[in-house]
Copies of this chain bind each other. A is one copy, B any other.
Amino acid sequence: MKEGPDIAQLGALIGDPARANMLTALMAGGALTASELAAEAGVTIQTASSHLKKLETADLLIQRKQGRHRYFALADDDVGALLETMMGLAARRGLTRTRTGPKDPALRKARVCYNHLAGELGVRLYDGLLASALLSETDGEPVLTPTGRERMIEFGIDIDALETQRRPLCRSCLDWSARRTHLAGSLGQSLLSRFEDLGWARREPASRVVHFTARGETDLLVTFCGQEPGSHTGSGA
């Protein structure tokens, strides 16, 4: 017997690691280009194109052409709901043993997601902002608190300028680890730029890796995550 009932097709579509990575990357709700999804999935752009075609044919994704980019997004909430159901069930079982995300340690530590900081440091930053009440979550969406607003301005972020944009200031973005979030939105983007301007971090060309200097990492943790200065990195702040 070769052909099976419809759930087999659906399962097979989600069952490929590359496609599953793309789908989880899109669970944040935003639309991503084919290139970005390829990077998220860790495959070349040709391979990604093939996968995206299949997902679109099955009506799991929709495509929106914009200039020379093609943005992909989940077709509707049903797809997102199914993915959440599957993630919940998989998490409740022992199925979380295989390492998720990039195998490259540098990629796991800090990388660019779209235009903002992701990876372990991205998650720690987000958690730190929450813990120090610079950010609060209402209805699962991150909101900058008045204190947070002041601190961001002190840090050199032009919040007023960002708020005039149509883009949301804060947005949460589901990380590779798939159960942790990091900060996206225009604030997320500006923070990463600011880290680079301050010399804390440097983006590796033609890659998604973000290299933090030892000093930069310490400063980041001290500034936003309430860590005491003079920790293991040695070069005290």
Contacts and interface: CB of A to CB of B under 8 A. Distances in A.
Contacts of A21: 1, 4-5, 8
A68 interface: no
A229 to B, nearest CB: 36
A41 to B, nearest CB: 7
B89 A178 contact: no
Given A24-B7, A98-B9, A1 B89 contact: no
Contacts of A91: 6
This protein's copies in its complex = 2
Nearest to A96: B6
Nearest to A177: B5
A34 to B, nearest CB: 17
Contact of A9 (B3, B24, B79, B90): B90
A17 interface: yes
A2 B58 CA distance: 23
A11 B12 contact: yes
Interface in A164-195: 176, 178
Contacts of A214: none
Nearest to A24: B5
Interface in A1-34: 1-21, 23-24
Given A8-B14, A13-B15, A1 B41 contact: yes
Given A10-B90, A85-B82, A178 B5 contact: yes
A86 B10 contact: yes
12 contacts: A1-B102, A4-B17, A5-B24, A6-B87, A6-B91, A6-B100, A7-B24, A8-B15, A9-B95, A10-B95, A12-B15, A78-B89
